[in-house]
């Protein structure tokens, strides 16, 4: 499926993008240039938005834009904005900034200054390119309509990569309007995952999961909690490394995802998990979080035991959790408590752990 029709957090990317323009008070009409074969996908994605009729694209990007501009001939608007369907994070204020710049200029594009040092080379660096005065062009690119139509007609058949280049070739003055890094062009699978996390974060909506686990003591000389080896005169029994804290955490993550429990994902009967480091379970659960297009809001974990004394080990345990979850330590709660000698933990028969996980969801 062409990427602009792919769902982002359940809504086609094209729909997200066009909605921002359709609902913008300074925009009178929005038309999408599509491949004629994609008509059904287009209809499904844009239902009810009140767009102008779609326009058939050409062989190359530049041909498609020219077709789009030609289709507006009848209405001949004062201004036109050309935008990538794959940039769904454009904000209305930046659209307005481009339009406002057309008072002074023939064109105006959103762009961000290059901050990284630029290198030229193939396998090795041949030289360092000055980034002074360099910008990365984004869209929308806004133009006085008749000027950009004439420029595109004159440049027909060339292979320029954006409309500002077409305008520059025609000698038009094009303003650089500072844009935002967030105005991501969703191109690769990695971009899709990032876009979903951005949407989840922006939604502010969360889901919560809880987890609880117990492991009994057996003979040994250390326990493993949150992936940290802690000297003790007993060890925890279990088919994996018996990291009771990480097991509670994994169950909380799975709970927030509505994705079952640790026993279903990593059955004790499966020899693969015999003696396994529990970090593997956390890594799998984190992959499920990414696959679901969600991200952690915060994590809170309580380990319950009389001994060993976990106080001195808490910084190392927190850091290990931060690393495993790819989350700042400030969003990880880690507590150790006793049960005042009461119950199985009080009698020193084992260690219990409970966890709460909150995920941002779009
Ligand atoms: Mg367990």
Contacts (Cβ under 8 Å, ≥6 apart) of 104: 175
Kindly give the distance from the C-alpha atom of residue 339 to the centroid of ligand 1, in angstroms, as a whole number: 20
Distances (CA, A) of 314 to 37, 248, 302, 349, 355: 59, 17, 11, 22, 15
Question: Taking a C-beta distance cutoff of 8 angstroms, is the pair 252, 241 a contact?
Answer: no
Per-residue pLDDT reduced to its tens digit, 318-329: 999 999 999 999
Reported as a pLDDT band with limits 50, 70 and 90, residue 203 is confident
Kindly give the distance from the C-alpha atom of residue 228 to the centroid of ligand 1, in angstroms, as a whole number: 16
> pTM (2 decimals)?
0.77
Instruction: Report the pLDDT averaged over residues 186-201.
Output: 91
Per-residue pLDDT reduced to its tens digit, 311-358: 999 999 999 999 999 999 999 999 999 999 999 999 999 999 999 999
Kindly give the distance from the C-alpha atom of residue 306 to the centroid of ligand 1, in angstroms, as a whole number: 19
Kindly give the distance from the C-alpha atom of residue 315 to the centroid of ligand 1, in angstroms, as a whole number: 23
Residues 353 and 209 in one domain: yes
Q: Is residue 149 a part of any domain in this protein?
A: yes
Q: Give dist(CA 31, CA 47) in Å, integer.
A: 13
Kindly give the distance from the C-alpha atom of residue 215 to the centroid of ligand 1, in angstroms, as a whole number: 6
Q: Of 153, 187, 221, which closes a domain?
A: 187
- Smallest CA-to-CA distance from 289 within 315, 317, 327 is with 327
Confidence (pLDDT) at 10 = 87
Q: Is residue 119 a part of any domain in this protein?
A: no
CATH of the domain at 85: 3.90.550.10
Distances (CA, A) of 212 to 157, 209, 248, 296, 357: 65, 11, 5, 19, 12
Consecutive H or E run containing 140 = strand 135-144
Q: Give dist(CA 285, CA 289) in Å, integer.
A: 6
Kindly give the distance from the C-alpha atom of residue 241 to the centroid of ligand 1, in angstroms, as a whole number: 9
Confidence (pLDDT) at 230 = 97
Instruction: Tell me: pLDDT of 293 over 90.
Output: no
Residues 207 and 149 in one domain: no
Q: Is residue 126 a part of any domain in this protein?
A: no
Residue 225, φ and ψ in degrees, nearest 5:
-130, 125
- Angle of helix 314-325 relative to helix 244-257, nearest 10 degrees? 40
Residues 147 and 239 in one domain: no
Confidence (pLDDT) at 1 = 83
Ion ligand 1 neighbours, Cβ < 5 Å? 213, 247
Kindly give the distance from the C-alpha atom of residue 216 to the centroid of ligand 1, in angstroms, as a whole number: 10
């Amino acid at each position: 499926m062409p990427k602009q029709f792919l769902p982002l957090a359940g809504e086609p990317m094209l729909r997200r993008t066009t909605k921002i323009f359709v609902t913008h008070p300074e925009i009178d009409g929005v038309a999408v240039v599509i491949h004629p074969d994609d008509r059904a996908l287009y209809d499904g994605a844009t239902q009810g938005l009140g767009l102008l009729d779609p326009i058939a694209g050409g062989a190359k990007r530049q041909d498609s834009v020219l077709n789009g501009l030609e289709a507006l001939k009848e209405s001949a608007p004062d201004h036109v904005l050309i935008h990538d369907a794959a940039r769904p994070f454009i904000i209305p204020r930046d659209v307005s900034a481009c339009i406002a710049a057309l008072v002074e200029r023939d064109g105006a594009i959103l762009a961000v200054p290059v901050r990284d040092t630029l290198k030229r080379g193939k396998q090795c660096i041949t030289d360092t390119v000055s980034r002074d005065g360099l910008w990365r062009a984004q869209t929308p690119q806004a133009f006085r309509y008749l000027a950009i139509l004439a420029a595109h007609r004159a440049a027909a058949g060339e292979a320029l990569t954006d409309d500002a280049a077409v305008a520059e070739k025609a000698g038009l003055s094009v303003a650089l309007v500072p844009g935002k890094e967030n105005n991501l062009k969703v191109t690769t699978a990695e971009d899709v995952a990032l876009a979903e996390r951005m949407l989840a974060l922006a939604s502010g909506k969360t889901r919560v999961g809880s987890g609880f686990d117990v492991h009994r003591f057996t003979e040994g000389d250390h326990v493993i909690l949150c992936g940290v080896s802690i000297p003790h005169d007993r060890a925890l029994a279990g088919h994996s490394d018996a990291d009771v804290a990480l097991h509670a955490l994994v169950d909380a993550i799975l709970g927030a995802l509505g994705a079952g429990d640790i026993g279903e994902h990593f059955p004790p009967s499966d020899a693969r998990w015999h003696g396994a480091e529990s970090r593997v379970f956390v890594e799998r659960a984190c992959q499920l979080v990414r696959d679901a297009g969600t991200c952690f809001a915060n994590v809170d974990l309580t380990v319950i035991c009389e001994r060993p004394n976990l106080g001195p080990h808490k910084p190392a345990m927190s850091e290990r959790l931060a690393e495993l979850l790819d989350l700042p330590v400030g969003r990880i709660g880690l507590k150790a408590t006793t049960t005042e000698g009461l119950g199985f933990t009080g009698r020193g028969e084992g260690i219990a752990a409970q966890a709460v996980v909150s995920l941002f969801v779009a």
